[in-house]
Amino acid sequence: DAGVIQSPRHEVTEMGQEVTLRCKPISGHDYLFWYRQTMMRGLELLIYFNNNVPIDDSGMPEDRFSAKMPNASFSTLKIQPSEPRDSAVYFCASSSQASGANVLTFGAGSRLTVL
């Protein structure tokens, strides 16, 4: 397996533009997580899905953020409109609960810069 695949790796955009980040989890994993990492706030959980259903989106900063998981192999995180304070590295991670533990496999991240 190629691991968790995220795209784009880097995105530079201007304030007010729409940003879409993409994630392909590991095949067979039934949980998918979106995290955001900044120097100030560290790694923050935004939202997670179980079997494509959003379970907890309490970490989503505001209505400008939305996430979808239309099928088991694809998820998107959308920011519309983007603001400079959204600049961060966004990580997608997936896991399988088959072992009873929530061990995450992370993607390489998408570095977002909003000017």
Which residues would be at the binding site for other proteins (CB under 8 A)? 4, 33, 35, 42-43, 45, 48, 55-56, 91, 93, 101-109
Nearer Cβ to other proteins (15/55):
55
Q: How far is the CB of 4 from other proteins (least distance, A)?
A: 8
Nearer Cβ to other proteins (18/56):
56
Nearer Cβ to other proteins (2/101):
101
Token pair belonging to 71: 């099928």
Q: How far is the CB of 67 from other proteins (least distance, A)?
A: 14
β-pair type (31-38, 42-50): antiparallel
Q: How far is the CB of 91 from other proteins (least distance, A)?
A: 5
- 71: amino acid identity, one letter: N
Nearest alpha carbon to residue 110 among 84, 87, 83: 87
- Rounded Cα gap, residues 36 and 99, in angstroms: 26
- Rounded Cα gap, residues 44 and 12, in angstroms: 21
Nearer Cβ to other proteins (40/63):
40
Q: Which residues pair with 53 in a beta bridge?
A: 50
Helix (H) or strand (E) segment spanning residue 102: none
Q: How far is the CB of 42 from other proteins (least distance, A)?
A: 4
